Amino acid sequence: MTQKLIFFDIDGTLLDDEKRLPDSTKEAIAQLQTDGHFVAIATGRAPFAFHPLAEELNIDTYVSINGQYVVHNKEAIYKNPLKPEAIAALEKYADEREHPLVHIDHQDWYANTEKNPYIKAALDSLKLGKEVKYNPTFYHDNEVYQTMLFCSGEGETEYDQTFDQLDFVRWHEYSVDVVPAGASKATGISQLIQKLDIPAQDIYAFGDGLNDIPMLKSIQNSVAMGNAADIVKKAAGSVTRHVGDDGIWHGLKQAGLLR
């Protein structure tokens, strides 16, 4: 079989609702690798937030932080940080509305306020066991690849209308990811595809979240998880079962990628 390149989202795709890796998913990934296929992660998480999972699955190529930090064979090949002036403007606007922020690089995350219940609730849902650090001036001297804004859905609309140089993608009831306008998993994936020079017909992608929509639309062989929202399913070429119902295994089998 011709070598394929398969991208997998993490939350709700590789990991179930309890942040567990189904045995069938682990077995499927191992079989893909044994058969010579190229397996990569495409996630909104930063590398520090999925390193143990990547090691468990023997994956060292990934599109992380919603496409802003791309690594191939453990080497960073693409970085797309937010502009400091854009962060400063966002910080001022958010501070006036008492909306906290968390700035993220590839190694850690840094809040601009201390002990905020909305930050705690959202980040705890990832079940990383990693505390956010307090450093309100982190972005002054360091590259930030993504910022998390903590506000309601109604509040999010204000930001969309005010900041045309930024995109806002909700990932939690209390939080949205903030990335450079036009940036997404799809733009990060395009950087990796250029390097690997793999034909479009041999590339696959699995996802379930709103931040997966650009990826699913841009990849010829895209699969939405059964647990995805309807808007996500409509963006994909096909739909597999729920992540907790061996969705990855069945999706790969349906695509003819498993023996």
How many whole angstroms separate alpha carbon 64 and alpha carbon 57? 16
Average pLDDT, the chain: 96
**Residue 185 pLDDT level (bands cut at 50, 70, 90):** very high
How many whole angstroms separate alpha carbon 87 and alpha carbon 170? 18
Asked if pLDDT for residue 231 goes beyond 80, the answer is yes
In the chain, CATH 3.40.50.1000 covers 5-79+183-254
Q: What average pLDDT does this structure show over 125-145?
A: 94
How many whole angstroms separate alpha carbon 8 and alpha carbon 5? 10
So which residues are the catalytic ones?
Answer: 9
3-state DSSP assignment of residue 6: strand
Asked if pLDDT for residue 1 goes beyond 90, the answer is no
Provide CB contacts within 8 A for 82, sequence distance 6+: 139, 144, 145, 146, 147, 166, 178, 179, 180
In the chain, CATH 3.30.1240.10 covers 84-180
CATH number for domain 5-79+183-254, candidates 1.50.10.20, 3.40.50.460, 3.40.50.1000, 3.40.30.10: 3.40.50.1000
**Residue 155 pLDDT level (bands cut at 50, 70, 90):** confident
CATH number for domain 84-180, candidates 3.90.470.20, 1.20.1260.10, 3.30.1240.10, 2.60.40.1190: 3.30.1240.10
Asked if pLDDT for residue 85 goes beyond 90, the answer is yes
Give the single-character DSSP code of 197.
T
Q: How distant, in Å, are the alpha carbons of 49, 95, 134, 170, 257 from that of 130?
A: 8, 25, 13, 21, 36
Q: What average pLDDT does this structure show over 134-144?
A: 96
**Residue 210 pLDDT level (bands cut at 50, 70, 90):** very high
